Amino acid sequence: MMKKFKFLTRESIKSKINTKAFKLINLALLIIIVALINLDSIVKLFGGDFDELINIYVVDEVGVYDDFKTIIDNSYLDVLENYNAEVKIAPKSLDELEKEIKEDESKDIIINIKEVENLTYDNVFDVDFISYEYVDTILYQDIVNAINTVKISRAMSLANIDESILSSVYKGEEINRIMLSEDVKENEEFMELIGSVITLIFVVPFFLLILLIVQMIGAEINEEKSSKSMEIIISSVSPEAHFMSKLISANVFAIVQGILLVVYSLIGIVIRVFTSSGLNGLINNTLGSSANIGTINEYIKLFLESDMASKLVSGIPLFIVLILLSFFAYSLLIGILASITTNMEDYNQLQTPVMVFLMIGYFLAIYAALYQGSIFIKIMSYVPFISGILAPVMYTLGEISIYGLLISIFLLIVVCFLLYKYGLKVYKVGILNYSSSKLWTKIFNALKS
């Protein structure tokens, strides 16, 4: 019997992996994942309007260009670099520049700083901001801020305030941030952001792999039932062996696919590191525009020094156990459901509640980083079928302890045991049942037997 069980398992794995579809899908996944990780490089490779240099021409009648340029360089250089913009003194007359921008429909900007007739402290110069179309709000706002700073500087100079005083006035106030909570960790505000990113990186593959398991077990059992092969198979191997072979093959497939996803991601990262974008670009993509609050290296440093990184590393063995148990629990449940259906349509209907359950876990895992301290999410992280996706996220975010993980694992083991014990009885009856009439009576009788 063991020989037949091994054969069934091997055949089942082979029928999933040794197919053109699997190879094609994985080739597509490799391309997609590598492309996603290097998306900015790909976008830049093809070029476009975003790639165009924005010249910010300053027409200066007043003589404040140097001040303006200094302020820009000191305070707004990152923003200008993001927009690929450069401040320079106007090389041509205002009319010529306007004509050029209009004809080329260019993104260049003219800052025309003009003398005023009646100089007052609140009116030290007039400024025209000239562009072909609307300029991005952030860029516009930062240029306006720089101009305002120049204006204050000029007004104070008019008031004969000494340069050293002026410099002292401009010097930023050093603020000591004091938080009374003992639990507050250093740079926690950034941790929430990083936590959200890590949650997504973990949750999406888990969700996809469970989906794969659900679809594969259902399709395989239904194919064997609808083609009546089941009778021939079950006359040769016991329903237990058949059931376990389906579960093990689906789980092995999910694990192989999971490992391949990690490998594809590593390939993407390696390509990124060795291309011009470098590691900074990778993190920039991940964090989006919010990355302006600090440099990328700071983020990596913050993450590596934080509890989150050490928790993530220390939790990995238990995460793996929890994830594998979750895969198994879903396989058991879905195998039982597939056995009692008579065709793929019935199965699709029956699997919907399971998918909803999975979706709950998916969304709670995403919300976990946003609603830190939520008691509801904490309780849900112990619930089997949800814990596999939620508990590792909660542990990494510091919302549950290692004991919380162990409780989730224990509850999952109990559920797997009960599902196997009682589900097998249903499976034995279900796989040879081709009629939906009196189905629940048959299931009930099977459970009683």
Partner 1 sequence: MLKVDHVTKYYDKFKAVDDLSFEIHEGEIFGLLGVNGAGKTTTFRMIMGLLDITKGEITLDGKKIDYSISDKIGFLTEERSLLPSKTVLEQAIYYGVLKGLDEKTVEKRLDKYLKEFNIESYKNQKIKELSKGNQQKIQFIISILHEPKLLILDEPFSGLDPISVEMFKKIILRLKENNTMIIFSSHMMEHIEYFCDSLVILVKGKSVLEGKLTQIKKDYRRKNIKVIADLDEKEVKKLDGVISIEKNKDEYTIKIEDEKYVSTIFKKISKYKNVVKFVVEEPTLNEIFVSKVGEAYDEEV
Residue 426 CB, shortest distance to partner 1, in Å, is 15
Q: State which of residues 45, 144, 232, 273 lies at the interface with partner 1 (CB under 8 A).
A: 232
Among the listed ranges 77-85, 122-130, 174-182, 225-233, the one in contact with partner 1 (CB under 8 A) is 225-233
Cβ atoms within 10 A of the Cβ of 127, count? 16
Contact 120, 150 (CB under 8 A): no
52 binds partner 1 (CB under 8 A): no
Among the listed ranges 6-14, 195-203, 304-312, 313-321, the one in contact with partner 1 (CB under 8 A) is 6-14
Q: What own/partner pairs with CB < 8 Å and gap ≥ 24 does 308-311 have? A: 308/191, 308/194, 308/195, 308/198, 308/396, 308/397, 308/398, 311/395, 311/396, 311/398
Q: At what angle do helices 387-396 and 402-430 cross, to 10 degrees?
A: 170
Task: Write out the two tokens for 361.
Answer: 């876990």
Q: State which of residues 84, 148, 236, 352 lies at the interface with partner 1 (CB under 8 A).
A: 236
Continuous H helices in 227-343:
229-234, 239-274, 278-287, 296-305, 307-340
Q: State which of residues 197, 237, 296, 318 lies at the interface with partner 1 (CB under 8 A).
A: 237
Q: State which of residues 108, 142, 188, 224 lies at the interface with partner 1 (CB under 8 A).
A: 224
Residue 29 CB, shortest distance to partner 1, in Å, is 22
Tell me whether residue 8 or residue 150 sits nearer to partner 1 (CB atom): 8
437 binds partner 1 (CB under 8 A): no
168 binds partner 1 (CB under 8 A): no
344 binds partner 1 (CB under 8 A): no
Contact 342, 433 (CB under 8 A): yes
Q: How buried is 211 (Cβ within 10 angstroms: 0-12 exposed, 13-18 middle, 19+ buried)?
A: middle
227 binds partner 1 (CB under 8 A): yes
Q: Which residues pair with 86 in a beta bridge?
A: 55
4 binds partner 1 (CB under 8 A): yes
Residue 229 CB, shortest distance to partner 1, in Å, is 5
Q: State which of residues 152, 197, 208, 233 lies at the interface with partner 1 (CB under 8 A).
A: 233
Cβ atoms within 10 A of the Cβ of 83, count? 18
Tell me whether residue 141 or residue 238 sits nearer to partner 1 (CB atom): 238
425 binds partner 1 (CB under 8 A): no
Contact 56, 109 (CB under 8 A): yes
Distance CA 245, CA 268 (A): 34
Q: Which of residues 13-32 bind partner 1 (CB under 8 A)?
A: 15
Residue ranges in contact with partner 1 by CB under 8 A = 1, 4, 7-8, 11, 15, 223-224, 227-229, 231-238, 432, 438, 441-442, 445
